[in-house]
Amino acid sequence: MMSPTRFPEFNTEQRYDMLIGDSWTQSTTGETFRCFDPYDDVEWGHVPLADIADVTRAVAAARAAFATWSQTPAYERAAILSRWGRAITDNVEALARTQVHENGKTIAEMRGASGALAATAEYFAQLALGPVGHVIEPAFPNHEAWTLRQPIGVVAAITPWNNPLGLLGWKLFPALAAGNTMVIKPSEVTPVSTLLLARLGLEAGLPAGVVNVVTGFGATGQALVDDPGIDKVAFTGSTATGAAIAQRVAPRFLRTTFELGGKGAQIVFADANLDLAVDSLVKGIVAGAGQACNAGSRLLVQAPIYDEVVALLRQRVADIRIGDPLDTASDIGPLASRPQYEKVTHYLDLAKDDGCELLVGGRRGPEIDGVGTGRFVEPTLYATPDSASRIRREEIFGPVGAVIRFEDAEDAVRIANESQYGLVAGLWTNDLSRAHRLSRRLESGVVWINTWRAFSNNVPFGGVKSSGLGREIGPDALLEYTETKSIWLGLH
């Protein structure tokens, strides 16, 4: 059981309200569900379970607000986003601790993510003030033409549990900066942090109905996607769920942004700085307990240094501190939910069936000293015999990596590109000519060279293949929430 001081900022029996229009409200049915702290499985909070009627009200509120918000001068929208960003900065600790209690990530990681969220708000506040179209000289005389970028309308944002606010911010702030309104359906694992963020938005001056939050499970998200008042869907989650959403919205030709699964390849050549490379290899599977689409879960190591790198990986993984995510000494916390724990531990069993060689780790739950019976899996690496290994092919979403030997650059590219996913990849080499050449050939939306998990709000992020459609952050993200209109003028 948790210590009585673990929840000093919460009344664990608190009832939370959804945000619909100008009202903080319970669901139409009055039904609720609970959150669970991943560290010790303690229940906390009572969150509304939204039904179709609640979703309909939220979409109607967003539609009504769109008429005004889309016509609000850009500088006014930008000012509200800037104030919202400052409010986030003032409340980083509350936002971070709430997310730790929801998904079990370490307090250091959630503080960093909450601070980055404020920067995202400010970036899109500034981007809102930029050009909204182009003047074009047509191909014939006595005419002028120009384009406008105009908001799409009401956006449905369906967000994940692994980084609930950071990945929401990548959708929320560009959408609002462009003049759209939004209905958010957060993961049922992490609803409270989103409700807190929405409250900060209202306090920053956000007009009623511009942002609405409906809480619930998959049925709530399905009702939102199916609502005829929705103009665009922005989703982060599994590739399977993304495909299901795409099928549902295709007959209505809705605009979509999908940020889906990943199986990132980190490629280490013999000439790499091994200290830096190995540190990043470990961080690539340990960060967020591996529950990240940008995890570097395939570790490709060139043959001449394979044994040396494996030895270094064993040393570094042995130093990883597993424990209470609210303890700043912990490097890795528990997995976010019981189903996720069961999924990851199932893959540990599959690795044995597939003939994978355990290199380091492999313990789970009560097998790990000092963490009780929580949902912990220690960082685990396997040598995989061939491409048929499920550890090597499938997204596990846990601190588990496949170590793969390669011979040369052609072999590395072939192995990296064998995945159905194409979100992130990394190259570790001091030969920058080779790095430039290979970065063009890797089937990935993001390629990091001699670094890993580098993010900046002005650099687009997104995948190819089964990893998604569209881009988040960067100037491209603002375009994802606008339509181009061409206007002609005849000069007679």
Over the stretch 170-198, which tens digit does the pLDDT of each residue have? 999 999 999 999 999 999 999 999 999 99
Q: What is the mean pLDDT of residues 268-284?
A: 97
Annotated active-site residue in 188, 259, 378, 443: 259
Produce one character per residue of 456-478: b if its CB has 16 or more CB atoms within 10 Å, e if not: ebeebbbbebbbbbbbbbbeebb
Q: Assign residue 103 a region: left if phi > 0, alpha if psi is -120 to 50, beta otherwise?
A: alpha
Q: What is the mean pLDDT of residues 380-400?
A: 94
- Whether 171 sits among the annotated catalytic residues: the reply is yes
What's residue 250's pLDDT?
97
- Whether 293 sits among the annotated catalytic residues: the reply is yes
Q: What is the mean pLDDT of residues 249-264?
A: 98
Q: Are strands 232-236 and 211-213 parallel, antiparallel or unpaired?
A: unpaired
The residue among 385, 387, 377, 404 whose CA lies nearest residue 297 is 404
What's residue 4's pLDDT?
37
For Cα atoms 273, 456, 103, give the angle at the middle one, nearest 5 degrees: 90
For residue range 215-229, what is the model confidence (pLDDT) as tens digits?
999 999 999 999 999
pTM listed for this prediction: 0.96
For residue range 327-366, what is the model confidence (pLDDT) as tens digits?
999 999 999 999 999 999 999 999 999 999 999 999 999 8
What's residue 3's pLDDT?
42
pLDDT at 9 over 80: no
The CB-side HSE value for 342 (13 A sphere, CA atoms) comes to 3
Q: Assign residue 278 a region: left if phi > 0, alpha if psi is -120 to 50, beta otherwise?
A: alpha
- Whether 35 sits among the annotated catalytic residues: the reply is no
pLDDT at 489 over 80: yes
For residue range 85-101, what is the model confidence (pLDDT) as tens digits?
999 999 999 999 999 99
What's residue 253's pLDDT?
97
Domains of the chain with bracketed CATH: 18-260+467-487 (3.40.605.10), 265-455 (3.40.309.10)
CA distances from 102 to 128, 164, 290, 350 (A): 32, 9, 16, 28
- Whether 203 sits among the annotated catalytic residues: the reply is no
For the chain, what is the HEC assignment?
CCCCCCCCCCCCCCECCEEECCEEECCCCCCEEEEECCCCCCEEEEEECCCHHHHHHHHHHHHHHHHHHCCCCHHHHHHHHHHHHHHHHHCHHHHHHHHHHHHCCCHHHHHHHHHHHHHHHHHHHHHCCCCCCCEECCCCCCEEEEEEEEECCEEEEECCCCCHHHHHHHHHHHHHHCCCEEEEECCCCCHHHHHHHHHHHHHCCCCCCCEEECCCCHHHHHHHHHCCCCCEEEEECCHHHHHHHHHHHHHHCCEEEEECCCCCEEEECCCCCHHHHHHHHHHHHHHHHHCCCCCCCEEEEEHHHHHHHHHHHHHHHHCCCECCCCCCCCCECCCCCHHHHHHHHHHHHHHHHCCCEEEECCCEHHHCCCCCCCCCECCEEEECCCCCCHHHHCCCCCCEEEEEEECCHHHHHHHHCCCCEECEEEEECCCHHHHHHHHHHCCCCEEEECCCCCCCCCCCECCEECCEECCECHHHHHHHCEEEEEEEEECC
Q: What is the mean pLDDT of residues 381-387?
A: 91
Work out the mean pLDDT of the chain and round it to a whole number: 96
Question: Which tokens hold the place of 346?
Answer: 């199932």
Instruction: Give percent of the chain above pLDDT 90.
Output: 94
Contact of 492 with 159, CB cutoff 8 Å? no
pLDDT at 1 over 60: no
What's residue 372's pLDDT?
66
Annotated active-site residue in 293, 378, 395, 443: 293
Contact of 472 with 450, CB cutoff 8 Å? no
Which amino acid, one-letter code, is at 58? A
Annotated active-site residue in 109, 188, 395, 472: 472
For residue range 34-88, what is the model confidence (pLDDT) as tens digits?
999 999 889 999 999 999 999 999 999 999 999 999 999 999 999 999 999 999 9
Annotated active-site residue in 105, 109, 122, 171: 171
Contact of 458 with 473, CB cutoff 8 Å? yes
